[in-house]
Structure 1
Amino acid sequence: MKTYDIEVQRLKSIRHDKGLVELYVDAAVLPRPLRDDQAGSSCVRLPVEHARSLLILLKQQLAELDKLQPRSRRSGRA
Structure 2
Amino acid sequence: MKTHQIEIQKFKAATNSSHGTVSFKVDCLLSPRAVPDGLEPASVLTMSEANARVLMALLKKQLADFDGRKARSQR
Structure 1: which amino acid aligns with 2:26?
V
Q: Percent identity?
A: 38
Q: Is 2:2 the partner of 1:2? A: yes
Counterpart secondary structure, 2:41: coil
Unpaired segments ≥5 residues, structure 1: none
TM-score scaled by length of structure 1: 0.86
Unpaired segments ≥5 residues, structure 2: none
Q: Counterparts in 2 of 1:22-61, with a 5 A limit?
A: 22-61=23-62
RMSD: 1.2
Structure 1 CA distance for aligned equivalents of residues 67 and 49 of structure 2: 27
- Structure 1 segments of 4 or more deviating over 3 A? none
Match of 1:12 in 2: 12
Structure 1 CA distance for aligned equivalents of residues 9 and 38 of structure 2: 27
Q: Give 1:15 shift.
A: 0.9
TM-score scaled by length of structure 2: 0.89
Structure 1 CA distance for aligned equivalents of residues 47 and 38 of structure 2: 23
In the alignment of these two chains, the number of paired residues is 74
